[in-house]
Chains A and B, each alone.
Chain A
């Protein structure tokens, strides 16, 4: 008896009129978008791997990315480490914004969304400095899409493509976060009765953090 009951329940689940995955349409579509975006990023990172494997020599990332603003000290990977922490922190504040939204706590959402936006802006500024330093180089010609002082041209080209594509994601994330923040302040979601938009934009923001985890490992550490 029990098995028949569950099988009919399962069939009903896919008969329409309800979400078999128990998520809203918007959240499901966000997941599907993120999946396709994950493919784009894996294609970029894997082709980076292929070019690296087909090159005779490859620069040591620790030696290339060893500078830090306002000082001439040799501090390998410290700056990119700080950037990683900033992005993880802004992911944490985003989780707290989503949590506040679930409780219909508008003040909480405002506070945590604000810090998430700040985190995103700080990260972008760090990246701008990192790019500028990388392009200008250490006095041996710097780097461009076709040539760089550190090693094979693919090294700089992939750096610009991968961190640039990720930076574009961070930038659009900051813009979307701001729109959600603005709507929260205006009380749009209180009126709507739920803060699901915060959850959706939260998914996107965490994905940006997730991609950076991979970029950090495969571009800076390995």
Chain B
């Protein structure tokens, strides 16, 4: 058992990397807490929804870019992942419009 462990060389901890991880985690925590406060203080409506959407994108950015390390990968790989997801914006517009027309048809 001991000889096996001796074969592998364990590198020392890079303190700056750990600090970076904690910093990103703190950002995620703080944004979630702010979302929470907004949920109870701001009345629901388009303004509140857009704040939530922006904060969700901020959180998603930190998770994908730092935790999943995509921000430090090759440019080609970054675009391979990001570009297709941007296309979902069209699906959002199309289906939400469709939904409101369905409501309009129903209420006539």
Q: List residues of chain A with CB under 8 Å of any chain B CB.
A: 20-23, 28, 31, 34-35, 38-39, 42-43, 46-47, 49-56, 60, 62, 76-77, 81, 84-85, 88-89, 91-92, 94-96, 99, 102-106, 187, 190, 202-203, 206-207, 209-210, 213-214, 217-218, 221-222
Contacts and interface: CB of A to CB of B under 8 A. Distances in A.
Q: Name the prevailing secondary structure of the B interface residues.
A: helix
A22 B73 contact: yes
Given A22-B73, A28-B77, A38-B85, A56 B103 contact: yes
Interface string B91-108: 110011011101100110
Nearest to B4: A187
Q: Name the prevailing secondary structure of the A interface residues.
A: helix
A104 B10 contact: yes
A187 B84 CA distance: 38
B21 A95 contact: yes
B49 A222 contact: yes
Given A38-B85, A95-B67, A85 B96 contact: no
Contact of B56 (A47, A209, A214): A214
Contact of B59 (A34, A46, A203, A213): A213
A217 B53 contact: yes
Interface in B40-68: 40, 44, 48-49, 52-53, 55-56, 59-60, 63-64, 67-68
Contacts of B13: 103, 105
Q: When A and B form their complex, which 10 residue pairs have the shortest distance between CB atoms, in order from nearest?
A: A53-B99, A54-B102, A50-B99, A103-B11, A21-B77, A50-B95, A54-B99, A217-B56, A206-B67, A92-B25
A77 B99 contact: no
A222 B56 CA distance: 11
